[in-house]
Structure 1
Amino acid sequence: MTALIVWFDGGCPLCRREIAAMQRLDRAGRITFLDVASDATECPIDRGALLARFHAQENGVLLSGAAAFAAMWRAIPLLRPFGLAARNRLVGSALEWLYVRFLRHRPALQRWVTSREARP
């Protein structure tokens, strides 16, 4: 299987948790995770655009949103069925619709997670 590159926002507590879970599941090391919040990370597009939406590169094709998540899922055996299902036009469209709604609430969710992490 071709290696996958995933760019994520290391400054986002939600993103850090999600990526930590994916790293644990990626036992074969098929995914290269790059923290966009780090100045050392080279970006294929504008850093602001990478921070605004989830991005991945699969077989040389840059993907964003639900398509990027689906690519990541396809690289992890346990999640591969979900990633393959997302190739269906209707499933992919539904996932993108949900992802866009999530993005609307992401700032509030980030504040909530940050406040919970700050508790003793």
Structure 2
Amino acid sequence: MIIFYDGYCPLCMTEMKHLKKRDKHKRLTLVDIQEPGFNERYPTLDWHALNARIHALRDDGTLITGLDVTHEAWKAVGVGWLYAPLRWPGIRIIADAFYNVFAKHRYTISYLLTGKKRGCDRCIPGETNDK
């Protein structure tokens, strides 16, 4: 699965670092949409849509977004059970609404929770994003 994430978002970067650390079987490819040349490498994807919320491309070519990405990514590294309740009917509707608010205000929320501003700590150690 290819995950398209916002490398300018401190909380997003933190999650990608944790995913990379747990991804022992290399099931995930992490792609920062803020990297130079992104549009040339992925010309068929809508950068603005990707920037509005997290997206992933499944191995079968299906594009997924939001908390579906979060759940499947953590499932791929062996701890999907932690996020499974976010996909249960009833909870899913509420969780998705909260995620949409987070995605829209992620820079402000990241700053309030981490003290890091947009674009801070973008690099994932050892990640080239050339995949």
Q: Percent identity?
A: 26
Q: Pairwise CA RMSD of aligned residues?
A: 2.4
Question: Paired residue for 1:23?
Answer: 20
Say if 2:110 is the partner of 1:113: no
Question: Structure 1 stretches of 5 or more lacking a match?
Answer: none
TM-score (norm 1): 0.77
CA deviation vs aligned residue, 1:6-56 (integer Å, no higher than 9, x gap): 001112222211111110011111001111111233334211211111001
The CA distance in 2 between the partners of 1:73 and 1:92, in whole Å, is: 16
Which piece of structure 1 moves more, 32-41 or 87-96? 87-96
- Report the AA paired with residue 63 of structure 1: I
Question: Paired residue for 1:46?
Answer: 46
- Report the AA paired with residue 74 of structure 1: K
1:34 to 13, 31, 36: 31
CA deviation vs aligned residue, 1:83-112 (integer Å, no higher than 9, x gap): 544443333323212201222431312443
Q: How does 1:36-115 map to 2 (within 5 A)?
A: 36-41=33-38, 42-43=41-42, 44-58=44-58, 59-77=60-78, 79-111=79-111, 112-114=115-117
Larger relative contact order, structure 1 or 2 (CA cutoff 8 Å, min sep 6): 2
Question: Structure 2 stretches of 5 or more lacking a match?
Answer: 122-131
The CA distance in 1 between the partners of 2:12 and 2:2, in whole Å, is: 15
Aligned length: 113
Greater strand percent: which structure?
1
Query: Residues 92 and 76 from structure 1, CA distance in 2 versus in 1: closer, same or farther, beyond 3 angstroms?
Result: farther
